[in-house]
Amino acid sequence: MLELPNVTLIALTGKDFDSHKKAIDKSCEGINFGAVKLVWDEKIRSIDDWNKKVIKELPSYVDTSHALLIHADGYVINPHLWRDEWLLLDFIGAPWPLPMDDYSYLDEEGGLQRVGNSVSLRSKKLMDLVATRPMEYHYGNNNEDGQICCWNRKWLESQGCRFATLDQAVHFSKEHEIPENVGVETFAFHSL
């Protein structure tokens, strides 16, 4: 059994409680987390509501050094692929594909960022910083993962936050088929 006492497994939802509960149960197979929380909030009625709750309220549910945020369609599938090095990071999620436009996945300085995704391991430090920073919504980076991993990334790095490299992210989770993850088994997934 994998022991992760410094990680809170968490899902936040306002719909489809049973599917989120199944994702929690599946993620707990083979892992003892420091805490396990399924947060139900009937005020979450849209993706915008969910994004705001993750940005502003997620840290209030977490008392461990890290949180593993999952969804009904994204959770742990291979606990044996866990890597302790991920706890040295402040954010790791699935890698993003190369964008098909000139605005997606760009940071404040216009640099391309390939690591994001809401199914992620994130530090309490990062969550607290994000919760207190005014978030401006920008086209192409409106979701909470875009806000964290793109539009506010350089600021978060200036505060000492460390983001996963593409190679680390390839082993953590998979959301899209990209050349870098062909044939790679991952710890988690999101909507394959």
% the chain with pLDDT above 70 = 95
The average confidence (pLDDT) of the chain is 93
Residue-level pLDDT at 139: 47
Q: pLDDT tens, 28-63?
A: 999 999 999 999 999 999 888 899 899 999 999 999
Q: Count up the domains in the chain and report the number.
A: 1
Query: pTM, whole model, 2 decimals?
Result: 0.95
% the chain with pLDDT above 90 = 83
Instruction: Give every residue of the chain whose pLDDT is below 70, as ranges.
Output: 135-141, 192
CATH classification at residue 100: 3.90.550
Residue-level pLDDT at 108: 87
Query: Domain containing 52: what range?
Result: 2-189
Q: Cβ–Cβ contacts within 10 Å for residue 149, how many? A: 28
